[in-house]
Homo-oligomer: A and B are copies of this chain.
Amino acid sequence: MVQAPSRRDRVRAATTQEIIQTARRLLVQQGPDAVSLRAIAREMGMTAPALYRYFGSHEELLRHVVADIFTELASYVRAAIHDAAAGAAGLREAEVMAVKMIAGCRGFRAWTLEHVPEFSMIFGSPLPGLEVLREVHRDPTVDCGYQFGRVFLDLFGDLYRRRPFPIPADDDIDPALAAQLARYRELTGSDLPLGALQTFLRCWVLLYGTVSLEAFGHMRFALDDPAPMFELMLADLAPMIGLPYPLPERSG
**A interface with B by C-beta (< 8 Å):** 31-33, 120-121, 123-126, 128-129, 131, 134, 142, 145-146, 149, 174, 176-177, 180-181, 184, 197-198, 201-202, 204-206, 208-210, 212-213, 216-225, 227-229, 231-233, 236
Contacts and interface: CB of A to CB of B under 8 A. Distances in A.
Number of copies: 2
A184 B197 CA distance: 37
Contacts of A206: 205-206, 209
Given A126-B216, A128-B32, A229 B201 contact: yes
A132 to B, nearest CB: 11
13 contacts: A124-B124, A134-B220, A174-B228, A177-B229, A177-B232, A180-B225, A180-B228, A197-B222, A202-B233, A205-B229, A206-B206, A208-B218, A209-B210
B32 A202 contact: no
Contacts of A224: 180
Nearest to A220: B134
A221 B208 CA distance: 14
A232 B121 CA distance: 28
A221 B124 contact: no
